[in-house]
Chains A and B, each alone.
Chain A
């Protein structure tokens, strides 16, 4: 009787261990997540906001901007990742962290038109200057390995305008991203795709 119990115990423990390993092996992130988890936003999160624009000119330009935003991959850095892929309710709200040797620790910014934490605080010219020249609104410089502005500087001015018009019309998210800190790591380049923003306690 005791022997049976002992064996049953051993088998149970083994099953639990094997089950746990299988669980670890099979569960996401990120290589086993359904691939749709990363491609969702363009239909669901984005398009609906643009239909509400009253001005037909703005709407047409914003649609071009939406297309440019999608293929330019803004959301890979500006939408933080959770365990189940990107947090779509924080679409383009920023918060991912970079650590760069000798340069510091920037965080991806909140691109939504939120008046307190987002791009509503910046003029069109300031946003375009970032995209064209990597110059922050206060004159600081983005290292190209964080914000890849040297690529975006090859965009023509009208497309850049369309992108800015689009950003003015997406859903505002209140999402306070930490300020750029001067601390830097020994590693050359580290990217933490998670959310480092302050969240209001509910």
Chain B
């Protein structure tokens, strides 16, 4: 009898326990599967922020393994709350490529994704988030904004964000974040690019909590509660109109000002063009599963097999004298970009290098691109000349295209480098890995 009772208890315990376990497991798999279909392409399956889409993004996708997050409602250096992470996923981070996931990740699954993201960093098991106490807000008024302007001067915000708040302060050059990626002072006049949101409370939280991992500190000790609210109201007050709310005169004035601005700072304009066109999407080295090798951006290496015309490898656009554009004149670079004629007079095919599209670039923008490419650090990466086919292959290929009407594809794949070069690449890469690992002990723990 006793045995029967104990058996029954054991069984029922099992029966009671089983569903709870299953639920936990299924919750984790829901979080995992959503993460893998929606998040991993940028943040990586291992949460390190190195997904297939990550190499060209500015700012880079967050590395979850360090447990450090920029946009929080918690003390500087503390973990974010679940609500902070949910808000980032729901609303996206404006001005970055993190989209608003609200239409796609709904209800309970949002919480499960958050749990899955938190599991990447052991910090979440050891520490608890320390939310800041948000005092009573100072409602918006002209007086409060005017007081905020004084706080802006007192806290020396202009050093980075500029006296006009446009993010062009004297110090705001070559900023790097904790992950060794480029970062910048935010333009405070464009609230639609505020990653953590644009309400006075959101802006207040940025001063109060700081933006961890970037040069933006917390001003918790340096300014009083009221001063920070005044400052938030000031930042709200300097917002300019976005182009989609402008009237005829405003939009014309805006574009002519923009034109002048672009001419005045060719490096910045060139960088914007080179990045937004995505030059590095082709002019980079790729791994065998079509990921850009970190650090190889703009140094060339993707092969296009344009049968029957030959094999073309994308060129090295960095300022290296021997293998890059270092020895090209401005005129030669512009001719290659806009007319598809190489330095030695060879003509490019009409694709994949879209020189025909670039022929639409204004003279100033061409100059800006050249000016920017001159500033790209030299990478020594020798690219072989195009591999032209013999005349028979060429004729047979054309026969197939024109007479047999065969649809011939243009394949692309990573260039196979000679072995000694491969070695140096893998050495460089392991060096990068070491840097990242040394950067945070937690990363190593997760790897194990």
Binding site for B on A (CB under 8 A): 21, 24-25, 27, 29-31, 33, 35, 37-39, 42, 56-57, 60-61, 64, 67, 70-73, 75-76, 83, 85, 99-100, 129, 132-135, 139, 141, 143-145, 148-159, 161-162, 187-194
Contacts and interface: CB of A to CB of B under 8 A. Distances in A.
Contacts of B276: 72, 151-152, 154-155, 159
21 contacts: A31-B309, A31-B349, A39-B359, A71-B361, A71-B365, A76-B352, A85-B350, A133-B99, A134-B41, A135-B99, A144-B56, A150-B57, A151-B275, A152-B278, A154-B57, A154-B275, A157-B95, A159-B276, A162-B243, A191-B409, A191-B411
Nearest to B308: A31
Contacts of B38: 139, 141
Nearest to A129: B99
Interface of B: 37-38, 41, 52-58, 92, 94-100, 103-104, 192-193, 242-244, 246-248, 251-252, 255, 272-273, 275-281, 288, 290, 309, 339-340, 347, 349-352, 354, 356-362, 365, 391, 394-395, 398-399, 401-402, 407-413
Contacts of B251: 57, 60-61
Given A157-B192, A159-B276, A83 B402 contact: yes
Given A70-B357, A151-B280, A158-B242, 18 more contacts: A24-B402, A31-B309, A35-B340, A38-B356, A56-B248, A67-B362, A72-B276, A76-B356, A132-B99, A135-B99, A143-B290, A145-B290, A149-B97, A150-B53, A150-B281, A152-B278, A154-B56, A157-B94
Nearest to B99: A133
B411 A33 contact: no
Contacts of A42: 360
B439 to A, nearest CB: 24
Given A134-B53, A188-B290, A191-B412, A139 B103 contact: yes
A144 B281 contact: yes
Given A150-B57, A151-B276, A151-B277, A61 B410 contact: no
Contact of B411 (A75, A158, A188): A188
Contacts of B409: 99, 187, 190-192
A195 B230 CA distance: 59
A38 B411 contact: no
Nearest to B192: A157
B244 A24 contact: no
A192 B252 CA distance: 41
Contact of B412 (A35, A141, A151, A188): A188
Contacts of A100: 290
A191 B37 CA distance: 24
Nearest to A33: B350
Nearest to A140: B37
Contacts of A143: 41, 52, 290
B357 A71 contact: yes
B410 A71 contact: no
Contact of A190 (B57, B248, B272, B410): B410
Nearest to B54: A150
Contact of B349 (A30, A99, A150, A155): A30
Contacts of A144: 52-53, 56, 281
A73 B277 CA distance: 8
B411 A71 contact: no
A189 B290 contact: yes
